[in-house]
Amino acid sequence: MTRLVLASQSPARLSTLRSAGVDPAVLVSGVDEDAVLAAARERYPDLPPSDAVLVLAQAKAEEVARRIEEGDAGDTDGLVLGCDSMLEIDGEVVGKPADADEARERWRTMRGRSGVLHSGHWVVDARDPDDGGTGATLGATSSTTVWFADLDDEEIDAYVATGEPLHVAGAFTIDGLGGPYVERLEGDHHGVVGVSLPLLRALLAEIDVPWHTLCHGTGA
């Protein structure tokens, strides 16, 4: 069985992978996201949101792969997956709100409207060469349009009071307490949770790693 290493502390990403039969090792990256984005935007001032999440996903995956290569991750190796998500609404990119007030304002802007949730995925093959490791590095972005319910102020206040919006990109979830406030999606719902399973499968196929080799009881 091929080992997947998740370079993320997101419980939603881990749960999504486990539900699909994959139980990854977790090594959280130490990337300074603000610094990475600032450097990227210095080189590419018009960096679109779909590329911004990819830049961050790549930085996270490559940082963890580097730790594995340098022996700073114990005996962990495998295919490293880095992810990052942002919501784009009215051409503006929003990540996690800084505090409850920002979360409330965010929802007052989003209610009754739609946005695009971009999730960048980057894979680095950090397997030992004796185990078929190639050192390959590649990625892609999943983009899904999200239509939000037209919440009143009381509903927004109640949702923000749960604390959930403060911990997720775009200040909402579809797999948690925010589910009732998302009316519909156009695109992969897994991508909104944070990891697009079809996209990950396609990336792995590009480096000749069949999806089923990651799953319990189906790979050698």
Per 3-state DSSP, what percentage of the chain is helix, strand, and coil (rounded to 5)? 40, 20, 35
DSSP state letters, 95-120: -S-SSHHHHHHHHHHHTTSEEEEEEE
DSSP state letters, 117-135: EEEEEEEEE-S-GGGT---
Q: How far apart are CA 215 and CA 50, in angstroms?
A: 29
Say if CB 78 and CB 5 are below 8 A apart.
Answer: yes
Question: Out of 84, 125, 175, 188, which one is annotated catalytic?
Answer: 84
Bridge partners of residue 181, in order along the sequence: none
- Residues 6+ away with beta carbon under 8 Å from 219: 1, 2, 210, 212, 213
Q: What is the DSSP-derived secondary structure letter of residue 176? A: S
152 in active site: no
Q: What is the DSSP-derived secondary structure letter of residue 213? A: G
Say if CB 129 and CB 145 are below 8 A apart.
Answer: no
Question: Residue 110 corresponds to which tokens in the numbers above?
Answer: 């989003």
By annotation, the residues acting in catalysis are 84
